[in-house]
Structure 1
């Protein structure tokens, strides 16, 4: 009943609002930590005493233009919305701080509260995806934030969410088995353990529990990037004052979708209107939709054991390349050297393709495996066979040079098992 009333009010607001072209844009700047950020306030012309909304970005590089269409939709409902260019200094794929991003958002909140057309007591934050970690963190730090809106927010750690999303993507491409486990688990654990996955173990729950502002949490039931069922349950259990809504045919960004992977024109019906009516009339009681179903739960990314350490993996790689490279110039053991080098170098190439294309650059899938992975598993088996033959030859001759190549074969077997090359 509450949702129906909010949507009806949103339709009335939309019908009575100025036309789409009647939203004013005013450029603003604000600073945090010595970095100047640039943005635009999109608001209905001639408005006064307006609620305000600061839009906080998802992950990756973003400019204010990425959110302008939604800001204009909110402006047509009488909300002054600040969109801004995401910082590039101190933010990259390998380096970022949610704390810094939260302070950026608070600086934007302060800039919006100073606007003459804005009611400073009614300014909140909106966060998408990564912004679903950042926006609540900003709100937890300042009573000046009146409310929080999140889209596709996570209740789990970033590393756990990313592992779940990678496995979804690979399964959607028809992949199963050892390569999927390698990409979503082994490689993810290595990235986290080596320190190149920023904020990997950020826990959002303590921040959610600390919030005293009303929170509107929105998810697409077909979200394949954020575990939506888990997120709804965690928000419901953690946030004191919540309104949680699930849109059945929407993906991560609340765009219309058929399967969570395609992106149809337009947003989920009712999403924009719901935000507008909720901001204008913050509810006093909590309510939540039923959590959507998930094909499988997410799993935590466990820390590396000592034998998996990044330095040990690098050392193994050096040994493999060195011993197999040495064997290329020695007739005994050359077969082991060739198959071993082909496998190791090929694995490095395929691994880069998996990480940069989320599996899309690996071509056709046969028997649940992309052709490049199958092409690696065959020389892996040949390398094991060659290592056995080399071991027999070395036992008969005890040739030191042959022993060097054999050492590579001995290291290769556990290495290939660990990375899934000898798995099914």
Structure 2
């Protein structure tokens, strides 16, 4: 792996050093953190910043333990640099690096201190579900889309193995940390819950008997502690005023044997909404059960008109068991496909720049339309069942099978739609 060492201009023997660990992203280049590297070097710290790995790391696959191993390799490289005191080399982690840097430090006594920025004390799945939900709430969304459907989708994605390290618990690692820690959060952080995470860090460190920590909050700063002109949406190139000075002075105190004791400074951040637990799915809501339900819907809802078309081509078309079955078929297929399509769009565009479309009473118009159609499908499913019971003897065997499959799928659709919030306010 390749990296760059940034040194202070004035030579000085035995200076402290610090390795910078990236946030989330595949193959993030070292230039992404060069602003931090240069500013920290100007405060007397030798800094190593390296290109993040791409092999073995992707949107659907990653290992924090592997990333911690990369960071330890970088620490070893910096400790071997001329003019760097190997006993004074620490590690700095941003965002995802806030999970990785403490893990590396807990594995090695070669790391003298830890700095985290925008770090999470919560599992990744819970943090990500909060970030997207909070983005939707900021633009005025309320109701079942944000309260039920969005977190349910994230849990289903994680249950299907498409969300890496979803339930990673950082607390045991923090409790095992023995090095001094500096935690920094911007009050306008829209990706990490800035009100909930710092107390988790403090409690975990205290539980492990480590009181050498300082937690600092910067006003008008975003996730990476850069200046933000619009409440955290945009990241300006400049670091928050006083951020680099704080890191420089804190590192000097720590390596001189004067680590702070349980210090909390800066205006406390306030979250507009709090995170919610995202436990692993129960069997009845698991990814296999969701796939089974979707397979049933595809066979019944799509199969009904296809079978009718085939019968017409063979000249065997007859009256349907009930016109309600047609609504169950067409409406159910529309709700399932359009519903998941819209949910995926909301998740992909959520967070800082949520764009759910026009709203009516806090509900996206698209979601309201899907909900209205879901209600109609549920009613039509009940009517189809009643019609089949009433006309069963008079119906041809083929129509009984076709309409029966649609009725069964329609009845399954009702609890499925309720689970996804389509039948909830």
Question: What TM bracket, shorter-length normalisation?
Answer: 0.7 to 0.9
Q: Please state if 1:308 is matched with 2:285.
A: yes
Q: Please state if 1:402 is matched with 2:403.
A: yes
2:18 & 2:101 partners in 1: Cα distance? 11
What's the CA shift for 1:370?
A: 2.1
Q: Which moved more, 1:145-154 or 1:330-339?
A: 330-339
| Contact kept in structure 1, 2:136 and 2:356, CA below 8 Å | no
What's the CA shift for 1:361?
A: 4.7
1:90 & 1:354 partners in 2: Cα distance? 28
Match runs of 1:269-308 below 5 Å: 269-282=241-254, 283-286=258-261, 287-289=263-265, 291-308=268-285
The residue that corresponds to 1:119 in the other structure is 85
Q: Which moved more, 1:393-402 or 1:98-107?
A: 393-402
The answer for unaligned runs of 5 or more in structure 1 is 1-36
The residue that corresponds to 1:53 in the other structure is 18
1:340 & 1:234 partners in 2: Cα distance? 44
Ranges of 4+ aligned residues in structure 1 off by more than 6 Å? none
The residue that corresponds to 2:222 in the other structure is 251
> Deviations along 1:31-84, whole A, 9 cap, x unmatched?
xxxxxx111111124623221111001112311010011111111222111111
1:351 & 1:416 partners in 2: Cα distance? 13
| Contact kept in structure 2, 1:183 and 1:354, CA below 8 Å | no
Q: 2:195 aligns to what SS in structure 1?
A: helix
> Deviations along 1:320-347, whole A, 9 cap, x unmatched?
1110112214362222211111111111
1:381 & 1:234 partners in 2: Cα distance? 42
What's the CA shift for 1:266?
A: 2.2
What's the CA shift for 1:376?
A: 1.4
The residue that corresponds to 2:330 in the other structure is 338
Q: Please state if 1:87 is matched with 2:53.
A: yes
Which of 34, 42, 63 is equivalent to 2:6? Answer: 42
Q: 2:142 aligns to what SS in structure 1?
A: coil
TM-score, normalised relative to structure 2: 0.87
What's the CA shift for 1:256?
A: 2.1
Match runs of 1:89-108 below 5 Å: 89-108=55-74
2:122 & 2:192 partners in 1: Cα distance? 9
Match runs of 1:141-180 below 5 Å: 141-180=107-146
Q: 1:216 aligns to what SS in structure 2?
A: strand
The residue that corresponds to 2:359 in the other structure is 365
2:326 & 2:32 partners in 1: Cα distance? 55
Match runs of 1:94-243 below 5 Å: 94-239=60-205, 240=210, 241-243=212-214
The residue that corresponds to 2:344 in the other structure is 352
| Contact kept in structure 2, 1:166 and 1:183, CA below 8 Å | no
TM-score, normalised relative to structure 1: 0.87
| Contact kept in structure 1, 2:118 and 2:186, CA below 8 Å | yes
1:116 & 1:163 partners in 2: Cα distance? 45
1:321 & 1:362 partners in 2: Cα distance? 27
Which of 261, 265, 289 is equivalent to 2:233? Answer: 261
2:148 & 2:214 partners in 1: Cα distance? 38
What's the CA shift for 1:269?
A: 1.1
Q: 2:101 aligns to what SS in structure 1?
A: helix
The residue that corresponds to 1:23 in the other structure is none
The residue that corresponds to 2:314 in the other structure is none
CA RMSD of aligned residues (A): 1.8
2:215 & 2:327 partners in 1: Cα distance? 61
